[in-house]
Amino acid sequence: MGSIELNYPVFCTCIEGGRNMDQIKVGKFISTNRKLKHMTQRELADILSISDKTISKWETGNGLPEVSLMLPLCEALDISVNELLSGEKLSIINYQEKAEDNMLSLLKENEANRKRLFQTIVSIVTTIIASVSLIMMASFLNLNTIIRIFLISIALIIIILSIISIILTDSKTGYYECPSCHHQFMPTIHEYVKGYHTFTKRYLRCPKCKKTNLCRRKLK
pLDDT in tens, the chain (220 residues): 433 334 333 333 344 444 445 788 899 999 999 999 999 999 999 999 888 889 998 999 888 888 788 889 999 999 988 888 888 887 765 656 666 666 666 666 667 667 777 777 888 888 889 888 988 888 888 888 899 899 999 999 998 888 887 777 666 666 788 888 878 888 887 888 787 777 678 889 888 888 888 887 766 5
CB 120 within 8 A of CB 166: yes
C-alpha angle 24-27-31 in degrees, rounded to nearest 5:
140
Long-range contacts of 199-204 (CB under 8 A, 24+ apart): 202/176, 204/176, 204/178
Beta strands in the chain (DSSP E): 175-177, 184-185, 201-205, 212-218
Characterise 78 by phi-psi region: left (phi > 0), alpha (psi -120 to 50), beta (else): left
Indicate the pTM of the whole model: 0.42
- Rounded CA-CA distance 172/160 in Å is 19
The most distant pair of C-alpha atoms in the chain lies apart, rounded to whole Å, by 77
Instruction: Show contacts of 69-77: CB within 8 Å, 24+ apart.
Output: 70/15, 72/47, 72/48, 73/30, 73/44, 73/48, 76/37, 76/39, 76/44, 76/47, 76/48, 77/30, 77/33, 77/34, 77/37
Q: What is the pLDDT of residue 3?
A: 39
What does the pLDDT read at residue 5? 38
d(CA 183, CA 185): 7
**Beta-ladder partners of 185:** 176
Tell me how many degrees the CA angle 71-87-80 measures, rounded to the nearest 5. 30
SS3 39: coil
